[in-house]
Copies of this chain bind each other. A is one copy, B any other.
Amino acid sequence: MVMENPHQTNVVKGALHERGLRMTPQRISILSLFHNSSSGDHLSADDVHQRLTQNETPMSLSTVYRTLHLMSQMGVLRELELAEDHKHYELNPRSDESHHHLVCIRCTKTIEFKSETMQKVGEKVAKGSGFALLDCQLVIHALCPVCQRSM
């Protein structure tokens, strides 16, 4: 079920080596999982752990956490803090496909939307302060129509 994505994997491998880190089977499995997920998926650490187990590439939850964190630091994954009390991850999209989130803070219903201007603002602001951009997210907190009524 799991397909490889050698190109991306090699890119990451190179980035790891630059830091003196290694590409391991566990890291490959996690990357493959994300490459094979549909783009709207926002996976929690626990989701990732369960899917890996289903994929017959089980590993410890600690490793999942460690890897998700590392990949986010490297800009490979994107760490999302939406309305729930745990983080979610997805592949960090190339700037031109980046999307953002509109979240109902009551029922956590989430709508994705795109906005080209956002990424431009992010790049401009980061560059202006000498920062190296990793990820740029607009999160809109709001109440969905249903929750507005049930107040």
Copies in the complex: 2
Q: Which of the four size classes fits the interface of chain A?
A: 35 or more
CB distance from A148 to the nearest CB of B (A): 5
Residues from 120 to 151 in A contacting B, C-beta threshold 8 Å? 121-122, 125-126, 129-145, 148, 151
Q: Is the CB of A111 within 8 A of B129?
A: yes
- The DSSP consensus for interface residues of chain A is mixed
> Which B residues are CB-close (under 8 A) to A139?
136-137, 139
A43: interface (CB < 8 Å)? no
Please tell me which one of the listed residues B73, B138, B140 contacts residue A133 in the complex, with CB atoms under 8 A apart. B140
**Structural contact, B135 and A138, CB atoms closer than 8 A:** no
Contact call B115/A121, Cβ cutoff below 8 A: yes
Are A132's CB and B125's CB within 8 A? Answer: no
Contacts of A125 in B (CB 8 A): 102, 113, 115, 140
User: Across the interface, do A148 and B132 meet the contact criterion of CB distance under 8 Å?
Assistant: yes
A28 at the interface (CB under 8 A from B): no
- Asked if residues B142 and A131 are in contact (CB atoms below 8 Å), the reply is yes
